[in-house]
Amino acid sequence: MERWHPLPRIFAAGLAAAALVVCADARAFAQDRSDRGGSLVGRIAKGVLLDPTTYTPAVLSYEGMRLDWNTSQVFFQHGFIEQNARFTMSGLPNDQPLGYHAGNREILSIALDNLQTSLVNNVGDRIFEEWLLAKYPNHPKVVKTFGWIERIGFASYLSYLRAGPHFTQWQQNQRIAGEMGLR
C-alpha cells in the first residue's frame, strides 16, 4: 500500500510563498544588500544551513524512532503486532510489523520529512527576517531576536510533537519487556 506524504505539497506551497515575498518587495532587498553583505539568496541559504534549528527536529525524531523501533523488536519476535500503521505490512494499524530493515528505511523517510518541514519553516523565516531588516534597518537586534524565537519555538514544537511519543514508547518498551522477561 502506498503511503501518502503531505509534506511535498507543503514544501511546494512554502517555496511559492517565499518567492512571492521576495518578488513583492525585491526593491527593498536590493537597496539594502551592501549594508549586510552578500546576496539575498546567499544570506538566506547560509542562515538556514548553519542554523541548528534546521536539523534538530529531524535528528531527534530519527533517534526517538530508532530507539522505539529497536526496543519493539523483542515483542515482534514473540508474536506481538505493530500499532503504528506506518510500520505495518498492510499500512493499517494493529497488523504484522515491517521487517527490521524496512522499518529503518521508514524511519529515515520520516526523519527526512521532518527535515523538509524544518527547512521550509527556516527559509520562510529567513526571508521574512530579511524583509523586516530592509523595512526596519535601525532595529536589527529586535528583528533577529524575534527570528531566533520563532525558529527555536518551531523546532521545539516539531521535536516535541514528532519525537516525544517515540521516546516515551521506548521507555515503556524497556519497562514492559523487563516485566515480561523478554530481553
Nearest to 131 by CA among 11, 19, 49: 19
Cα(130)–Cα(52) distance, integer angstroms: 19
* Mean pLDDT (whole number) for 94-114: 96
| Percent of the chain's residues with pLDDT above 90 | 78
| Percent of the chain's residues with pLDDT above 70 | 80
Q: Give me the numbers of helices (H) and strands (E) for the chain, helices first please.
A: 7, 0
**What is the grid cell recorded at 23?**
518578488
> What's the pLDDT tens digit per position in 41-74?
999 999 999 999 999 999 999 999 999 999 999 9
Taking CB atoms within 8 Å and a gap of at least 24, the contacts of 164-171 are 164/64, 165/64, 166/61, 166/64, 166/65, 166/67, 166/68, 167/64, 167/67, 167/68, 169/68, 169/72, 170/64, 170/67, 170/68, 170/71
**φ, ψ of residue 161 in degrees (nearest 5):** -65, -45
Instruction: Enter the pTM of the model.
Output: 0.77
> What sections of 78-139 are H helices per DSSP?
100-135
pLDDT at 34 over 50: no
Contact 87, 97 (CB under 8 A): yes
Cα(157)–Cα(164) distance, integer angstroms: 10
CA 117 to the chain's CA centroid:
5
Looking up cell 501518502, which residue turns up? 4
pLDDT top residue among 8 and 127: 127
pLDDT for the residue numbered 36: 66
pLDDT at 115 over 70: yes
